[in-house]
Structure 1
Amino acid sequence: MTIKNKTITQGFIISGLMNLTVLVFSRGFTNSTIPEFDPVVMSNFGLLMIVIWGLAYMSIAKNYHKVKWLVGVFAVEKFIYGYIWIQWILNNNLSDVYKKDTMAGLFYSIYGINDWIFFVFFLLVFIKILKGNRV
């Protein structure tokens, strides 16, 4: 499968924008329900770091091929968040979150799916760069 450079650039931008949606779901870090249900990973500091990761993705969108190991780090980071989300889903009741706040419920419903999708994306890009295939 060949992924075009333009598509990869767009993928980095979309991944960054997806991370920035944390600002919407958290209502600018004022939604106390998100940190309540995962005070370690999804504290307001943790949510801010998600925004920072998103900015990092977008910052290399046009020059991703120059920072192959950073793309690999992005893949590892997304894998970790995806794994943490699966653990959270298996050990928590999502309906409890929805009862308290719909935006928080939506956030917990989708954030891990997003992380798994972009884990695959970053991994494919990393492999492509390692092989030296920039077309």
Structure 2
Amino acid sequence: MNINSKTITQGFIVAGLMNSSVLVFSRFFTNPTIAEFDPVVMSNFGLLMILIWGFAYISAAKNYAKVKWLVGVFAVEKLIYGCVWINWFLNNNISDVYEKDTMAGLFYSIYGINDWLFFVFFSYVFVRVIKNQDQ
């Protein structure tokens, strides 16, 4: 598989926009249900940090090859959130979240899928940049 540079740049922007969707799901940090079901990771501060990570992805979009180690950090960050999501699902009942708030339920249903997809994307980009540097 070989993805061209323009598509990779667009991938970074999409990753940032997906992280920005926390504003919608949290109703601009006014939805208490998200934090109620994971007060450590998904507090309003945690959601704000997700937004900041999204800005970081967008800021690296056009220069990702120059910040290869940062791209590696992005992959690790997505891996961590993906693992946290799986752990959350193993220890919680998503229907309880939907009963309290549909937007929060949707958020918990999809955020980990997004993180796993972008873990693969950032890992691919990181490996590609490392390989291209060796040539």
**TM-score (norm: length of structure 1):** 0.98
TM-superposed deviation, 1:132: 1.0
Q: Show the counterpart of 1:71.
A: 71
Q: Show the counterpart of 2:47.
A: 47
Percent identity over the alignment? 77
Counterpart residue type for residue 48 of structure 2: L
Q: Do structure 1's residue 115 and structure 2's residue 122 form an aligned pair? A: no
Q: Show the counterpart of 1:36.
A: 36
SS in 1 for 2:125: helix
Counterpart residue type for residue 44 of structure 1: N
Counterpart residue type for residue 56 of structure 1: A
Q: Show the counterpart of 2:88.
A: 88
TM-superposed deviation, 1:78: 0.0
TM-superposed deviation, 1:16: 0.2
TM-superposed deviation, 1:100: 0.1
In the alignment of these two chains, the number of paired residues is: 133
Q: For 1:3 and 1:99, locate their aligned partners in 2 and report how far apart those are by CA, in whole Å.
A: 41
Deviations 1:76-134 (A, max 9, x none): 0000000000000010000000000000000000000000000000000000000017x
Q: Show the counterpart of 1:124.
A: 124
Deviations 1:38-86 (A, max 9, x none): 0000000000000000000000100000000000000000000000000
SS in 2 for 1:131: helix
Q: For 2:94 and 2:85, locate their aligned partners in 1 and report how far apart those are by CA, in whole Å.
A: 12
Gap regions ≥5 residues in structure 1:
none
Counterpart residue type for residue 108 of structure 2: Y
Q: Show the counterpart of 1:57.
A: 57
SS in 1 for 2:86: helix
Q: For 2:29 and 2:65, locate their aligned partners in 1 and report how far apart those are by CA, in whole Å.
A: 33
- Structure 1: 4+ residue segments shifted above 6 A: none
Gap regions ≥5 residues in structure 2:
none
